[in-house]
Amino acid sequence: MPGLPVLPTTDVALYVLTTTHLDAFAIGGYAALFPFQASRKLLFGSFAVLLGVGLIVLVTSRGADGNPLPLGSLGYPLGLSGGFAMFWGYSLINICSALLIDCVAHGRFAPRFFGNPIMSYLGKISYGLYIFHFPLQSLVGRLLPGSPLALQIFVQFSLTIVLASASFHLWEARFTKLKDVYFPSSAGKPPPRPEPSAALS
């Protein structure tokens, strides 16, 4: 897209496209059909592996431009060019993300933090946050060149939330209501009463 920053090489750029991330859809579909019921120990272990492998890549590899990887990337720079991570890194991140979502959804990881109204609302508009954050990041970078990074992040964050919120209430909500009509959920129904024999056992 003209005017937007691109990745340094075509070979790396190809691996950040949706068509090369079918494993993410597969992992998400599997988790929806067969919940992991992951424990916090498994979650922390998976992120320890993610961090450990990333640090190894950070120390032993270089980016697509031949320069050392940024320390802040923890071994996972944009495009995952170091250590051929474009082949395996996304899958590892997807697995860790699926375990995190599973633990959060079942209240096994920071339930007070993720259950507060602000986080719940951000989760409701999360699709818009995902869609709009990168274009707005590029736009803010072009409109505020040379401005402090903190200011750019604040402006980008604010604009992304406003636009994602408008998208949800003006566009997405009408489709989510159809989901409840054609695919009703049993989440709001009370749990079935136990059999007398089960209650006495």
Residue 46 pLDDT exceeds 90: yes
Query: Range with the lowest mean pLDDT among 69-83, 126-140, 178-192?
Result: 178-192
Residue 186 pLDDT exceeds 80: no
Calculate the CA dihedral of residues 121, 122, 125, 127 and round it to 10 degrees: -150
Distance CA 131, CA 122 (A): 13
Bridge partners of 68?
Answer: 62
Residue 152 pLDDT exceeds 80: yes
With a threshold of 0.85, does the pTM exceed it?
no
Residue 185 pLDDT exceeds 90: no
Q: What is the predicted pLDDT for the residue at 169?
A: 94
pLDDT tens profile 19-37: 777 888 899 888 888 888 8
Query: Range with the lowest mean pLDDT among 45-49, 58-62, 82-86, 122-126?
Result: 82-86
pLDDT tens profile 129-144: 989 988 898 899 889 9
Is residue 62 helix, strand or coil? Answer: strand
Residue written as tokens 């009408």? Answer: 174
Query: Range with the lowest mean pLDDT among 24-38, 105-119, 184-198?
Result: 184-198
For residue 109, what are the contacts with CB-CB under 8 A and spacing of at least 6? Answer: 40, 43, 100, 103
Residue 96 pLDDT exceeds 90: yes
Residue 196 pLDDT exceeds 60: no
Residue 1 pLDDT exceeds 70: no
